[in-house]
Amino acid sequence: MAEFKNPSQQGGGGQDNKSLFVMMFVMIAVFFGLQYFRGKNNPQTASPSSPATTQSAPAKPGIPSGAPAAGPAAPAGKLSAANAVPTVQAPAESTTTVENELYRITFTNRGGQVRSWLLKNYKDNDGKPLNLVHEQAAQKFGYPLSLYTYDPAVTATVNNALYVPSATGNLSAPASLTFKYSDGNVQATKTFSFDETYVLHADVVVTRAGSPIRALISWPGGFGDQDNANAYAGSSLDFTRDGKEQHLEPKKVSGGDTLNGPFDWAGVSGQYFAAIFLPDNPQDATVATLHNQLDVAKTIRRTGFGSAKGAIDVPILGAALGDISGHTQTRIYAGPKAVNVLKAIHSTGDKVTLEPLLDFGFFGPIGKYLFLSLQFIHSHITSNWGWAIIILTLLINVLILPLRIKTMQSGLKMQRIQPQMDAIKERYKKYKATDPKRNEMNAEIMKLQKDNGVNMFGGCIPTLIQLPLLFAFFGMLPKVVELRQAHWFWLPDLTSADPYHILPIVMVISQFLMQFYTPSPGVDPQQQKMMAFMMPAVSGYFVWNYASGLGLYWAVGNLFGIAQQAVMNRTSLGREMREIAAKRARRKSGTSVTTIQGKR
């Protein structure tokens, strides 16, 4: 696990052991020497009642700062018998299971931490309840709800000791579970409270020689559903300060840093699940960032990792939250990044919810409403997410149908004046592109278009509408847990690539036919032919290994467009456009040729 360097440590300088002339000086030297030694090796905070708590300057949002300075420790040898605490240790390891309708959490009294966290409503690739604990990462970096302190020795002690639990066996929520440990010097108490939701409450106190130690409760890293490259690439460190959220990808997270509050909430998330702390005292909260590398070559499906046979190192992000007083009290959300669930969880004081945890990227607002539309269709029309995507695609295309008709009308007007535009260009072709005369040519063309009611950008409007929707789908589909493992015919998971690559092939063919059937007035036939082959190839490559839900949306949109264009080409408007295009092609070639302007 990444370690923190305490800024209160100071190097150099020993005690003056040669001052043996006066016994008083010796005692003073020994006293201050012990003070220094304890201060260096016990990075703890001052007592919560002490007004002289020292901490580092608040860090800017997203910019890690050093670990907080520790307050003074009690001198060694000064602990009186009255302050001594009895030893509290269990004789053997035991487990306690806490269960509600959503999860089944198994605690071990070794460290008072979680060994498994099963989500009943979500399955792994074997069809079993999903374990949120990343077992391989946990064995190496620590289990969920373990403790993190700024002293490696204390961290090892409190996470490996056998605590005495308040209960063993099975507990049904609502319930409370307390773990206690003491070796006579270090004392730790961890209390967890559970209800019927995904949220539990943690209360943690660790002391040494009666003084609080800064002990942060942690989720050391990773989630049990991370079994491919996309799952690790989608992990992030997330937090919100004063209602403004930040999502830091692995390359921007430095292991061993401390972020100072206030925090409305903070934690880590994967592609579909998250572990988030919601501190009871946001103003006094600090977050330790944990970033490690893990070789998963022998334990993971190689999807997305290529065919390399060597080590596969992936980033493992973790976070730990504590309070500057040394007494950590926080709620903890560990569950799916489902919109309806996240909206219902509020930070302390109801300032913000966890909804911003679901980040859809640059086109996030559009992606959010697309998903809400999908969710409405799924709830009220069909119970299958694949059919919901198809219905939404058809609705979108029906809504933009009037714009396509307008575009076709604008294209016809453009074709009608195309000979006049060609004549204007012919008059000015002797001038170079940098010649001022070219401005006169552009002015004449613009006047001709204006006089004939031609909007030169009219043909771009449907594309300008559809592209943001496409990119919004691109950012949204792989991140919504509701579509995880959602099937449609041969597609086992709409958030994963088509295993048989049927959809990409259908999409390439439909994209070509779409280009073939759609007239493009004013575009050179050779250029049109090149685009008819290039665009489908690029689109096919784009979705070959991407979420099959995107390919379904794209392919259905193309098929709808082909049917729509086929009908429009048979109208008087379409026939006139084809006739004009054919005449123009014959004039250019001097013979009757088949063009790609539309169906013959």
For residues 539 and 64, give the distance between their C-alpha atoms in angstroms, rounded to a whole number. 40
**Amino acid symbol at 222:** G
Q: Tell me the CATH number at 247.
A: 2.70.98.90
Asked, for residue 443, whether it belongs to a domain, the answer is no
For residues 174 and 190, give the distance between their C-alpha atoms in angstroms, rounded to a whole number. 17
Query: Mapping DSSP to helix (H, G, I), strand (E, B) and coil, where does residue 435 land?
Result: coil
Residues with Cβ < 8 Å from 160, sequence gap 6 or more?
110, 111
Could you tell me if 113 and 159 are in contact, meaning their C-beta atoms sit under 8 angstroms apart? yes
Residues 151, 2 share a domain: no
DSSP per-residue string spanning 367-397: HHHHHHHHHHHHHHT-S-HHHHHHHHHHHHH
What is the residue-level pLDDT of the chain in tens, covering all 600 positions? 443 333 333 333 333 333 333 444 444 454 445 444 344 433 333 333 333 333 333 333 333 334 444 444 444 444 444 456 789 999 999 999 999 999 999 999 999 999 999 999 999 988 999 999 999 999 999 999 999 999 999 999 999 999 999 999 999 999 999 999 999 999 999 999 999 999 999 999 999 999 999 999 999 989 999 877 777 878 999 999 877 899 999 999 999 899 998 999 999 999 999 999 999 999 999 999 999 999 988 877 655 565 556 788 899 999 999 999 999 999 999 999 999 999 999 998 777 899 999 988 888 899 999 999 999 999 999 999 999 999 999 999 999 888 888 877 777 787 788 888 888 888 888 888 888 888 889 899 888 888 887 776 666 777 778 889 989 988 898 889 999 999 999 999 999 899 999 999 998 999 888 877 776 655 556 666 777 778 888 888 888 988 999 999 999 999 998 998 888 888 887 777 777 777 776 776 665 444 444 443
Check the CA dihedral 522-524-528-529 and report its sign. Answer: positive
Count the neighbouring beta carbons within 10 Å of the beta carbon of residue 81: 5
Q: What is the pTM of this model?
A: 0.77
Placement of tokens 């050779």 in the chain: 526
Residues 398, 324 share a domain: no
Residues 522, 584 share a domain: yes
For residues 441 and 444, give the distance between their C-alpha atoms in angstroms, rounded to a whole number. 5
Asked, for residue 444, whether it belongs to a domain, the answer is no
Residues with Cβ < 8 Å from 158, sequence gap 6 or more?
111, 147, 149, 181, 186, 188, 206, 215
Residues 287, 160 share a domain: yes
Asked, for residue 15, whether it belongs to a domain, the answer is yes
**Amino acid symbol at 247:** H
Strand 215-219 and strand 313-323: the pairing is antiparallel
Residues 349, 260 share a domain: yes
Residues 122, 27 share a domain: no
Residues 373, 504 share a domain: yes
Query: Mapping DSSP to helix (H, G, I), strand (E, B) and coil, where does residue 447 land?
Result: helix
Residues 372, 348 share a domain: no
Residue 12's domain comprises 1-41
Could you tell me if 337 and 274 are in contact, meaning their C-beta atoms sit under 8 angstroms apart? yes
Asked, for residue 490, whether it belongs to a domain, the answer is yes
Residues 355, 240 share a domain: yes
Residues 339, 278 share a domain: yes
